[in-house]
């Protein structure tokens, strides 16, 4: 290639994608020698990494995001020269087509990653864009490694018509095939609208950046035009709304770097695929368990923070909470015990007394199923007054939606250990990892109260007539409540029937959990052959 052609190609590439066709024609000229071909390759590579338009203030570029996520120098790009087939008058055909795909490592472990580039066609999904992403998903499935998607897209590429819609469906099909086989993590770093929102919804975990990320099917302008409702992108599908109101996201990050750091942290808890084990680390010390002996207040209705218990029994007191802002009446978290990953599910008395409602049931059910899919043992800590009653909950489907958690626990075959801390009433007792749903080991603190309902409610039902006829109903109620508590307000009736394997001192909880996890490490629990179960969706 001549020096003139070289200068033309270089200048055009530097000017961004507006004149890509000119650069391409210069680069496509016939070359003869090996040196010319190598120089041509270098020019094309330089052209492929030029942003299409300026980035948003404070936003990293697609490649910068990948480099920030992966181990230094580990990224290998795939499909760097892929571009659209459209050849209409003035059509732009930048290399990469608006998405960067490839593989690398996180803490030395293989990971596939794609990053949508909002500077090229707004990061919109076109045919070549979609085919690159689908090919990466296929590679992740074949090699059995996690896939991380960095989403920053304006939606479908309108000018490519049905091709972009077809590739959305192809991507979702890959998400479904990969579900339960390899971990899938979505990071929303800008807009994620329309059909683009469904892929993150199917993946295992979604992260969003406060004040930056938005995820919705229909944007505010269209909603106002169609329904007359006025709203904002932040109210409709902003990072906080998605984390705290509708539960579409699992993690809220302060900025892009925080989001990518959280991905690295999350991956450290997960296996590469469903056939492997999560990475194991040297056992780390835990807090002094003696503090647990005074954790539960003497008054049944008084709240305490369940996280104090969880921090005490896990390595280094470290928890990675999942959906921390959504349904805070139940805690779902990843942690380690003796260096090995465990999943924690615990009622939180600090919020609505730890009651199970629709949101809490669905949040915990999804988490339990994820842990079961990837061989992560489940530790359940129960302090639950039951399912939330009320007209709204009943009409919104708490029977069907609450049954999801029952289904998830009953279906799970990983090691399951339950600690009844205080209340375990009614359906709440059954669903929170009870022996009857297949828990392998059930422990209870002396403070545990396992019964059909609490003492006040039971006395009101069982002795309604006596109380109505009594001269001093309050004094009689107090005596009856005390008698009920003495008979039913302890863990011992359940222990006598074998529903509780041991009543333990709170300070010994971690020691019992460690021994149980060691004993259950080789657990086998085959399920009957079937196509799949029919969870009450």
3-state secondary structure labels for all residues of 339-403:
CEEEEEEEECCCCHHHCECHHHHHHHHHHHHHHHHCCCCEEEEEEECCECCCHHHHHCCHHHHHH
Which pLDDT does position 57 carry in this prediction? Answer: 55
What's the domain range around 24?
3-48
Residue 222 sits at the vertex; the CA angle it makes with 216 and 227, to the nearest 5 degrees, is: 105
Banded pLDDT at 11 (limits 50, 70, 90): very low
Which pLDDT does position 485 carry in this prediction? Answer: 84
Which pLDDT does position 386 carry in this prediction? Answer: 95
Gyration radius of the chain's alpha carbons: 28
Same domain, 463 and 505: no
Banded pLDDT at 136 (limits 50, 70, 90): very high
CA–CA distances in Å: residue 147 to residues 110, 261, 305, 394 = 9, 16, 35, 38
Same domain, 18 and 162: no
Contact 193, 158 (CB under 8 A): no
Contact 345, 330 (CB under 8 A): yes
Residue 234, by phi and psi: left (phi above 0), alpha (psi -120 to 50) or beta?
Answer: alpha
Nearest partner of 418 among 438, 402, 403, judged by Cα: 438
pLDDT tops 80 at residue 249: yes
pLDDT tops 80 at residue 356: yes
pTM of the prediction?
Answer: 0.89
Which pLDDT does position 350 carry in this prediction? Answer: 98
Same domain, 69 and 205: yes
* Per-residue pLDDT tens digits for 221-240: 999 999 999 999 999 999 99
Which residues are 114's β-sheet partners?
101, 149
Same domain, 70 and 208: yes
Banded pLDDT at 462 (limits 50, 70, 90): confident
Which residues are 450's β-sheet partners?
424
Residues 6+ apart with CB under 8 A from 298: none
Which pLDDT does position 16 carry in this prediction? Answer: 41
Return d(Cα 66, Cα 54) in angstroms, integer. 18
Same domain, 156 and 245: yes
Does 409 map to a domain?
yes
Mean pLDDT along residues 273-282: 95
Q: Which of 82-86, 178-182, 265-269, 284-288 has the lowest mean pLDDT?
A: 82-86
* Overall residue count recorded for the chain in this entry: 537
Same domain, 145 and 204: yes
Does 53 map to a domain?
no
pLDDT tops 70 at residue 48: no
Same domain, 216 and 241: yes
Mean pLDDT along residues 366-387: 98
pLDDT tops 70 at residue 7: no
Same domain, 302 and 413: yes
Structural domain tally of the chain?
4
User: CB-hemisphere CA count at 13 Å for 272?
Assistant: 16
pLDDT tops 50 at residue 18: no
Q: Which of 43-47, 87-91, 142-146, 295-299 has the lowest mean pLDDT?
A: 87-91
Which pLDDT does position 345 carry in this prediction? Answer: 99
Same domain, 294 and 224: no
156 or 4, which is more confident: 156
Give the position of tokens 């003495």: 486
pLDDT mean across residues, the chain: 90
The CATH number of the domain holding residue 435 is 3.90.226.10
Residues 6+ apart with CB under 8 A from 88: none
Contact 136, 166 (CB under 8 A): no
Banded pLDDT at 9 (limits 50, 70, 90): very low
Residues 6+ apart with CB under 8 A from 422: 296, 300, 349, 383, 445, 447, 448, 449
Query: Which tokens is 287 given?
Result: 């807090």
Same domain, 28 and 128: no
Does 56 map to a domain?
no
Banded pLDDT at 88 (limits 50, 70, 90): low
Which pLDDT does position 23 carry in this prediction? Answer: 42
Banded pLDDT at 537 (limits 50, 70, 90): very high
Return d(Cα 182, Cα 231) in angstroms, integer. 37
Nearest partner of 20 among 63, 62, 77, 83, judged by Cα: 83
pLDDT tops 70 at residue 314: yes
Does 257 map to a domain?
yes
Strand residue runs (E) in 429-531: 441-444, 449-451, 502-503
Banded pLDDT at 241 (limits 50, 70, 90): very high
Which residues are 186's β-sheet partners?
149, 206
Which pLDDT does position 232 carry in this prediction? Answer: 94
Does 217 map to a domain?
yes
Mean pLDDT along residues 130-141: 96
Residue 71, by phi and psi: left (phi above 0), alpha (psi -120 to 50) or beta?
Answer: beta
Rounded to the nearest 10°, the torsion over CA 104, 144, 129, 157 is: -120
pLDDT tops 90 at residue 464: no
Banded pLDDT at 44 (limits 50, 70, 90): confident
Mean pLDDT along residues 458-463: 84
Same domain, 350 and 231: no
Return d(Cα 82, Cα 113) in angstroms, integer. 16
276 or 456, which is more confident: 276
- Do strands 99-106 and 76-78 pair parallel, antiparallel, or not at all (unpaired)? antiparallel
Mean pLDDT along residues 322-333: 98
Same domain, 463 and 332: no
Does 301 map to a domain?
yes
Does 277 map to a domain?
no
Residue 133 sits at the vertex; the CA angle it makes with 129 and 137, to the nearest 5 degrees, is: 170
pLDDT tops 50 at residue 343: yes
Does 54 map to a domain?
no
Percentage of the chain beyond pLDDT 70 is 91
Q: Secondary structure of 145-207 in the HEC alphabet?
A: CCEEEEEEECCECHHHCHHHHHHHHHHHHHHHHHCCCCCEEEEEEEEEEHHHHHHHHHCCEEE
């Amino acid at each position: 290639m001549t020096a003139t052609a070289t200068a033309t190609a270089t200048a055009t590439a530097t000017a961004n994608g507006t004149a890509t066709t000119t650069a391409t024609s210069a680069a496509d000229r016939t070359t003869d020698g090996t040196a010319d071909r190598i120089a041509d390759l270098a020019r094309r590579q330089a052209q492929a990494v030029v942003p299409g338009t300026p980035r948003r203030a404070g936003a990293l570029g697609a490649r910068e995001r990948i480099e920030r996520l992966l181990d230094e120098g580990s990224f290998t790009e795939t499909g760097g020269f892929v571009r659209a087939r459209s050849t209409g008058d003035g059509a732009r055909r930048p290399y990469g087509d608006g998405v960067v795909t490839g593989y690398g490592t996180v803490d030395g472990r293989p990971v596939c990653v794609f990053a949508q580039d909002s500077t090229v066609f707004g990061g919109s999904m076109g045919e070549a864009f979609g085919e690159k992403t689908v090919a990466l998903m296929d590679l992740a499935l074949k090699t059995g490694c996690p896939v991380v998607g960095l989403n920053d897209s304006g939606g479908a590429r309108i000018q490519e018509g049905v091709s972009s819609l077809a590739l959305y469906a192809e991507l979702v099909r890959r998400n479904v095939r990969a579900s339960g086989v390899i971990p899938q993590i979505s990071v929303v770093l800008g807009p994620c609208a329309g059909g683009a929102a469904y892929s993150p919804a199917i993946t295992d975990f979604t992260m969003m950046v406060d004040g930056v990320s938005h995820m919705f099917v229909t944007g505010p302008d269209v909603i106002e035009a169609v329904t007359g409702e006025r709203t904002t992108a932040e109210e409709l599908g902003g990072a906080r709304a998605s984390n705290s109101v509708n539960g579409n996201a699992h993690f809220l990050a302060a900025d892009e770097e925080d989001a990518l750091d959280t991905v690295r942290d999350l991956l450290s808890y997960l296996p590469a695929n469903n056939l492997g084990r999560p990475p194991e680390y040297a056992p780390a010390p835990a807090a002094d368990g003696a503090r647990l002996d005074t954790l539960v207040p003497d008054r049944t209705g008084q709240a305490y923070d369940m996280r104090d218990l969880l921090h005490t029994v896990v390595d280094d007191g470290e928890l990675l909470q999942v959906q921390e802002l959504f349904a805070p009446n139940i805690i779902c978290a990843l942690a380690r015990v003796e260096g090995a990953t465990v999943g924690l599910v615990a009622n939180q008395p600090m919020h609505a007394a730890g009651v199970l409602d629709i949101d809490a049931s669905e949040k915990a059910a999804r988490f339990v199923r994820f842990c079961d899919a990837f061989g992560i043992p489940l530790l359940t800590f129960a302090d639950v007054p039951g399912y939330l009653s009320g007209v709204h909950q009943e009409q919104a489907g708490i029977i069907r939606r609450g049954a999801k958690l029952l289904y998830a626990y009953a279906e799970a075959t990983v090691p399951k250990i339950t600690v009844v801390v205080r209340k375990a009433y009614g359906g709440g007792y059954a669903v929170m990892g009870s022996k009857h749903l297949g828990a392998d080991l059930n422990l209870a603190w002396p403070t545990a109260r396992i019964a059909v309902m609490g003492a006040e409610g039971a006395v009101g039902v069982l002795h309604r007539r006596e109380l109505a006829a009594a001269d001093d109903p309050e004094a009689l109620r107090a005596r009856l409540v005390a008698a009920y508590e003495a008979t039913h307000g302890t863990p011992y009736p359940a222990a006598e029937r074998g529903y509780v394997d041991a009543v333990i001192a709170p300070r010994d909880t971690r020691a019992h959990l460690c021994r149980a996890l060691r004993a259950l490490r080789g657990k086998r629990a085959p399920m009957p052959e079937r196509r799949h179960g029919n969870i009450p969706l």
